[in-house]
Structure 1
Amino acid sequence: MTITRRHLLQTTGASALLASLGQQAFAQAQPLETARLITGFAAGGTSDTLCRRVASRLQPDYGKAVVVENRTGAGGQIAVTYVKGQPADGATILQTPTSILTIYPHIYKKLPYDPLVDLTPLTIACQFDFGFAVGPAVPASVKSVPEFLAWAKTNPAGANYGSPAAGSTPHFIGALLGKNAGVDLKHAAYRGTQPAMLDLLGGNVAAVSGPIGDITQHLASGKVRILGVSGAKRSRFAPDVPTFEEQGIKNVTHSEWFAFLLPAKASPEVVARANAAMKTALAQKDVIDGLGTFGLEAMSSSPQELTELLKKDTAKWAPIVKQIGFTAEN
């Protein structure tokens, strides 16, 4: 299945029927007293920003009050596990990068949740690319990813990078960059990209692999340089930065989605109503523009389209994880 922005924003066939049912249910149902959006990452990052932008648009029709809760830790697992145990009444909604659902099953022998059993897919929320950036710990003469890898090879003590979580897409992007170049890049996992960026700015870590929007907001400091982006083409949020492939780096082209999900066994009526509310929120101009400032391309989907995407990406990452050789026990 090929997922494109146009494909996701258009709803046909069964998706149109679901949207129609959702709109009817949305119009007829009374708003929840309180709805909660749960993210597994720290305040100030892209995940938190998405939740807060959408929450503002879910009030007061979906919920009289819509609050965001940051349940950080274990690379996002704490948030997923928490939502798994909540009532499937639409009052608790998980927002997560899809890598927590598609990569983690390959690296954790005892993952405390089964993504396709314990959760109900609701909608994709946005798509984004990753950036690879360096800070004050790396000489100003280093201006590309190959130059960073060459520097790292001759400076093994400083050959490190941070990412928002162990086992996340940004973690594996850094690992692939090092592996393909024969460089031992040491990985440091953080509770979100923003803590990693603070260490980058302080010179405590050489580089950071993370969502492009988490990096671009720090460019004004003059201490951060983005060396490359992970998308198939240049990011409109960093048009002067070449892709990895443009720099001669093959097989490290990856984008990711944020998605909203409900606990398992949510009724069709609850799913339809929540999906319709989310689609309406994500289509608002202020939400689209607001997410754009953080490098996020707003979009939406039917629950079935999100389910298919999760299955496809889960299969895609299996051989990549095997190539890298990472497990949670490493």
Structure 2
Amino acid sequence: MTTRRQFTQLLAALVPTGLAPLAQAQATKPVPMPDVAKIISGFPAGGTVDVLARRVADKMRGHYAGTVLVENKPGAGGQIGILALRDSPADGTNLLLTPSSMLSIYPYTYPKLRYTLEELAPVSLGATIDHGLAVGPGVPDSVQTFKDFLAWAAANPDKANFGSPGAGSMPHMVGVLLGQMAKADLRHIAYRGTVPGVQDLLGGQISAFWGPIGDDLQYVRAGKLRVLAIAGPTRSVFLPQVPTLAELGYPLRVREWYGFFLPGKATPETVKRASEGVQAALAQPDLVEYGKQYGLEIKPSSAAELAQMLKADADQWRGLIKQTGFTAES
């Protein structure tokens, strides 16, 4: 088990030392292109993580490896995918695409987490995405604002609930923090990813869902869902009409990112080659345009930049989670 102090020390050490060889790497022996590589996703097919993984795999095929596949390993709020990467060969044939929650939040909410940051090697940022609170047919049409939703939830305590892609995920934590700030008693319902949660929202089985807005967009456009608030520091370019929580009077500004990783034992040369391959794929203009359909702002980065983002996120969430007193066993 990794303690909070150990996790923080690891992140602090990762940026100045652990990734230093990446900037210095002058590979004396080129890493050969493998016949087959795969990108692991810890979430079901159809969600925004899976969508991005498959598009990047298409762009890397024939350049990074002869064939690049996507392997879905859903479960435990994305943890199964991380464990699958950790236990895979560190030769560059296995990458992971994961949301930041599993790395910057879980170490502070799961007292018996089965992996550490040392077992992952940052490769490149993939994209950023905002989380929003969506309501569906389980809530009356008269509920058009977040204030309306709070009033309706208070009047209907048996229906006052919200789903999220997993216990301890960023959308879940946003819901917990917001409930405390708004003094609202909202029951949480955890799902194995966004897709099944949104399906239950559309079916009226749950009243609301905190999750990536990319999974809501097609249903918002069709008039089947309404997004009432955004958790990001600014309004989303994809839903500019939706206010942020900060605008509504709740001082919470968080935005999720998706990042690519290799097993922690990967050599600097292997990490360098993977980072260059992922960045080249993400730089393709048609991929950038494709991401917009799913609320994804495509943003490739160096391995060192991704490590810096992880450290900053962990610092922010350590304080926020301490504020809630929340653990995954709560």
Q: Distance in 2 between matches of 1:326 and 1:169?
A: 13
Query: Which portions of structure 1, spanning 4 or more consecutive aligned residues, are displaced by more than 3 angstroms?
Result: 17-22
Q: Which residue of 2 aligns with 1:6?
A: none
Q: Which residue of 1 aligns with 2:158?
A: 157
Q: Which residue of 1 aligns with 2:105?
A: 103
Q: Which residue of 2 aligns with 1:173?
A: 174
2:35 corresponds to which letter in structure 1? E
2:291 corresponds to which letter in structure 1? L
Residues 66 and 25 of structure 1, relative CA distance in 2, 3 Å threshold: farther
Q: Which residue of 2 aligns with 1:7?
A: none
Shift of 1:31: 1.9
Shift of 1:227: 0.5
Map 1:164-313 to 2 at 5 A: 164-248=165-249, 250-313=250-313
Q: Which residue of 2 aligns with 1:64?
A: 66
Shift of 1:29: 4.3
Q: Distance in 1 between matches of 2:23 and 2:292?
A: 25
Give the superposed CA RMSD: 2.0
Residues 20 and 212 of structure 1, relative CA distance in 2, 3 Å threshold: farther
- 1:144 lines up with 2:145 in the alignment: yes
Deviates most, 311-320 or 284-293 = 311-320
1:153 corresponds to which letter in structure 2? A
1:42 corresponds to which letter in structure 2? P
Per the normalisation by structure 1, the TM-score is 0.90
Q: Distance in 1 between matches of 2:196 and 2:96?
A: 22
Gaps of 5+ in 2: 1-18
Q: Secondary structure at the match of 1:226?
A: strand
Per the normalisation by structure 2, the TM-score is 0.90
Deviates most, 190-199 or 28-37 = 28-37
1:105-134 CA-to-partner distances (Å, cap 9, x unmatched) read 00111100002x111111111111111110
Contact 1:165 1:171 in 2 (8 A): yes
Q: Distance in 1 between matches of 2:114 and 2:239?
A: 37
Contact 2:22 2:271 in 1 (8 A): no
Q: Secondary structure at the match of 2:122?
A: strand
- Which of 37, 40, 51 pairs up with 1:38? 40
Shift of 1:298: 0.5
2:144 corresponds to which letter in structure 1? K
1:138-168 CA-to-partner distances (Å, cap 9, x unmatched) read 1111111122112111211000001111101
Q: Distance in 2 between matches of 1:263 and 1:36?
A: 13
Contact 1:19 1:275 in 2 (8 A): no
- 1:55 lines up with 2:57 in the alignment: yes
Contact 1:145 1:244 in 2 (8 A): no
Q: Secondary structure at the match of 1:57?
A: helix
- 1:133 lines up with 2:137 in the alignment: no
1:182-220 CA-to-partner distances (Å, cap 9, x unmatched) read 111111111111111100010000001011111112224
Gaps of 5+ in 1: 1-14
Q: Distance in 2 between matches of 1:121 and 1:184?
A: 38
Q: Distance in 1 between matches of 2:140 and 2:261?
A: 43
Contact 2:214 2:294 in 1 (8 A): yes
Residues 319 and 19 of structure 1, relative CA distance in 2, 3 Å threshold: closer
Q: Secondary structure at the match of 2:318?
A: helix
Shift of 1:319: 2.0
Shift of 1:88: 0.8
Q: Which residue of 2 aligns with 1:12?
A: none
Q: Distance in 1 between matches of 2:214 and 2:61?
A: 26
Q: Which residue of 2 aligns with 1:8?
A: none
Contact 2:25 2:268 in 1 (8 A): no
Q: Secondary structure at the match of 2:277?
A: helix
Q: Secondary structure at the match of 2:35?
A: strand
1:49-101 CA-to-partner distances (Å, cap 9, x unmatched) read 01001000001011111000110000011110111111110000011001100
Q: Distance in 2 between matches of 1:60 and 1:20?
A: 27
